[in-house]
Amino acid sequence: MISPNWPAPARVKAIVTERGGGVSRGPYASLNLGTHVGDDPDSVADNRRVLAAELALPAQPSWLEQVHGATVVDLDIELPGAADGSITSSVGCVCAVLTADCLPVLFSTTAGDRVGVAHAGWRGLVSGVLPATVATMGGDPGDLLVWLGPAIGATAYEVGEEVRAVFVAADSAADVCFTANGRDRWQADLYGLARRSLAEAGVRAVHGGDFCTYSEAERFYSHRREAPCGRMATLIWLSP
């Protein structure tokens, strides 16, 4: 598992799972935490129990039905549902997203009194999931700490002109996050696009962003590399 390297207060607990340490088999081997990818449901349930025990979680994670959009739920007043981000200020409430190439993004206030997480693939980034999470966190965006977790790197993430076009139409300077690859397609920098979106939303303190799920096959699932595949979890919660 990966502990984020960011200056969040000690009471902010966060972790990203890797693919090892569970019971799933085949393309889902071994710590698949996603129920929607075709894995044996009993294996996923066992993996989720392993996760909860290993981390001594204060509660079951609030799993979302991720839809590649921009809906963010405040778990203090809403139930988890169809959304791509969640936030909380309640001790022991565990925010969670699942990924396998898309970008998981952690949020914390500098005071450590509110945390959140977002699932940001290219569709979510275009839709505005990161500014939506910033807005749901509330307060001054300059008071937020953000960490960018494991996602597909720019050298591996090839996209078509239609993907580049939607970003550039919204922000002409986003062109810097796309590199022509000689095949009439583009290498997209999800991390760069996320940093631009966060900066536009007023966030100044952004950490992480140095992984590649596609190239690190022993550590991470990658939908682009080996679909079907499992999902990693990114979790964040507040301790007393």
Task: Report the CATH architecture of 12-154+206-238.
Answer: 4-Layer Sandwich (3.60)
Residue type, 192: G
* Chain centroid offset of residue 155 CA: 19
- Dump pLDDT digits (tens) for 30-89: 999 999 999 999 999 999 999 999 999 999 999 999 999 999 999 999 999 999 999 999
Alpha helix positions (H), 117-219: 122-127, 129-137, 161-170, 190-200
Which residues of the chain carry a pLDDT beneath 50? none
H/E run at residue 41? helix 41-55
Closest CA to 187 of 239, 218, 152, 215: 152
Q: pTM for this structure?
A: 0.97
Closest CA to 111 of 37, 233, 8: 8
Q: Where are the domains of the chain?
A: 12-154+206-238
pLDDT the model gives residue 46: 98
Polymer length in residues for the chain: 240
How far apart, in whole angstroms, are the C-alpha atoms of residue 74 and residue 95? 10
pLDDT the model gives residue 196: 97
pLDDT the model gives residue 125: 98
pLDDT the model gives residue 99: 98
